[in-house]
Amino acid sequence: MKYFSVIWSSLKRKKTRSILTILSILVAFILYGYLSAIRLGFDAGVEVSGVDRLVMQHKVSLIQFLPESYEARIEQVQGVDSAVHGTWFGGIYQKPMNFFSQFPVKVEEYLDMYPEYVISDEHKKAWLETRNGAIAGRTIAERFGWKVGDRIPIQATIWTRKDGNPTWEFNLVGIYDGVDKSTDTTQFFFRYDYFQEARSFGSGNVGWYWIRVDNPDNAAEIAKEVDQLFANSPAETKTQPEAAFMQGFAKQIGDIGFIMTAILGAVFFTILLVAGNSMAQAVRERIQEIAVLKALGFTHTAVLAMVLAESLLLACLGGFAGLAIAWTMITTMGDPTNGSLPVFFLPVKDVVIGVLLAVLTGLAAGILPAIRAQKLQIADGLRR
């Protein structure tokens, strides 16, 4: 630490260069933060799914319906705590670009299945009392500026109404929050009984089931057992843990993790060049000074450490500031895809990795110039 002032003054020697290097590192870390949050957004379902929940769908594909009557039969299976169904509504609010998911559900059973959706007793009561009532997640409500009491018209794409009206009108009776920021608050739920009564076809059919088991350790066996229950029936099923189901979805889009890693690889390669080049210049310009330091009695190792420390300081100043800016931008500005991602935040884990990356960048950029400074012979340096 006693050398800090020396290191600091070598950074100040060429202010423009140091500032530019710090800025380019900073930008790389802003990008790192953003890409981490985006990747999480695509994978969100996986990280937030409940370990005790299974998803049961039709064996052929998710678009095939299952009978409503399966619920009671699933619940009879030993080890199953409860089962509740969901159906894809797929309606359009104003225009197709305003995509968000809507599901008809049974109010109490669903809220019981998903305790991570937090809704006030008052809103819940209103929902139970309002037949065409619906609740929306905080994010989606803010995106469209909805308030409790608003009427939300949603144009049917699949589910035409018996009365021929192309639009379903819902009464927004509540807004739910997430138990923490990893909860998906971009969804819209309305009552199944209203849906069942008004839809023009498919009566008694639902899209899939969520099943909660008593003990997550038995999840795999129970999944097998419920599938056995409906084997050789007209609607055979495929049951898997919720995390696997969500993972399947993320994988359908593509290997997001790989794409993000590839991009970040290119970014950090670029930054290493910039920072490494800057450190090399810094050492080249100071050959004489370094020789003087050594002549004064600084050891080779001390010189190596000082150059490395300088590089580390550059990288950490840029890296930490970049992470801080990324965090602020992500928290305040939100999702760059305008609501297509179910969650958007920078998890602590990725911040920690970012800090380590900054340290690594500093060491990697500084190591070659530092070795050059370490090996420098006093006589050679002074003769320059």
- Give Cβ neighbours of residue 205 (< 8 Å, ≥ 6 apart): 65, 66, 67, 68, 87
Residues belonging to the chain: 384
For residues 264 and 378, which CB has a smaller minimum distance to other proteins in the complex? 264
Q: What are phi and psi of 355, to 5 degrees?
A: -60, -45
In whole angstroms, the minimum distance from the beta carbon of 270 to other proteins comes to: 4
For residues 65 and 298, which CB has a smaller minimum distance to other proteins in the complex? 65
Instruction: Report if residue 62 touches other proteins, rule: CB under 8 A.
Output: yes
The site that binds other proteins (CB under 8 A) totals a number of residues, namely: 59
CA-to-CA separations, 194 to 157, 175, 348, in angstroms, rounded: 17, 19, 42
Instruction: Report if residue 160 touches other proteins, rule: CB under 8 A.
Output: yes
Instruction: Report if residue 232 touches other proteins, rule: CB under 8 A.
Output: yes
In whole angstroms, the minimum distance from the beta carbon of 47 to other proteins comes to: 17
Q: Which stretch binds other proteins (CB under 8 A): 77-85, 118-126, 130-138, 276-284?
A: 276-284
Sheet strands (E) in the chain? 53-58, 66-67, 80-86, 102-105, 117-118, 133-137, 151-155, 167-178, 188-191, 205-206, 208-213, 237-241
- Distance from C-alpha of 192 to C-alpha of 209, rounded to nearest angstrom: 13
Query: Which of 49, 50, 277, 378 forms a contact with other proteins (CB under 8 A)?
Result: 277
In whole angstroms, the minimum distance from the beta carbon of 147 to other proteins comes to: 27
Within 116-145, the residues that bind other proteins by CB under 8 A are none
Among 361, 376, 365, residue whose Cα is nearest residue 284: 376
Note whether 58 and 235 are within 8 A (CB): yes
Query: Which of 125, 128, 131, 166 forms a contact with other proteins (CB under 8 A)?
Result: 166
Instruction: Report if residue 31 touches other proteins, rule: CB under 8 A.
Output: yes
Cβ density class 136-166: b for 16+ within 10 Å, e for less:
bbebbbebeebeeeeebebebeebbeeeeee
Instruction: Report if residue 90 touches other proteins, rule: CB under 8 A.
Output: yes
Instruction: Report if residue 49 touches other proteins, rule: CB under 8 A.
Output: no
In whole angstroms, the minimum distance from the beta carbon of 72 to other proteins comes to: 22
For residues 204 and 297, which CB has a smaller minimum distance to other proteins in the complex? 204
Query: Which of 133, 174, 276, 342 forms a contact with other proteins (CB under 8 A)?
Result: 276
Question: 280-319 mask for other proteins (x: CB under 8 A)?
Answer: xx--------------------------------------
Instruction: Report if residue 99 touches other proteins, rule: CB under 8 A.
Output: yes
For residues 92 and 360, which CB has a smaller minimum distance to other proteins in the complex? 92
Instruction: Report if residue 30 touches other proteins, rule: CB under 8 A.
Output: yes
Question: 253-272 mask for other proteins (x: CB under 8 A)?
Answer: xxx-------x--xx-xxx-
Phi-psi region of 317 (alpha: psi -120 to 50; beta: other; left: phi over 0): alpha
- The sheet carrying 208-213 orders its strands as 80-86, 208-213, 53-58, 237-241
Sheet strands (E) in 231-362? 237-241
Burial of 371 (0-12, 13-18, 19+ CB in 10 A): middle
Instruction: Count CA atoms closer than 13 A to 95's CA, side-chain side.
Output: 2
Instruction: Report if residue 157 touches other proteins, rule: CB under 8 A.
Output: yes
For residues 79 and 202, which CB has a smaller minimum distance to other proteins in the complex? 202
- Which residues of the shown chain bind other proteins in the complex (CB under 8 A)? 16-17, 20-21, 23-24, 27-28, 30-31, 34-35, 38, 59-64, 90, 92, 96-97, 99, 155-158, 160, 166, 232, 234, 236, 238, 247-249, 251-255, 263, 266-267, 269-271, 273-274, 276-278, 280-281, 336-338, 340
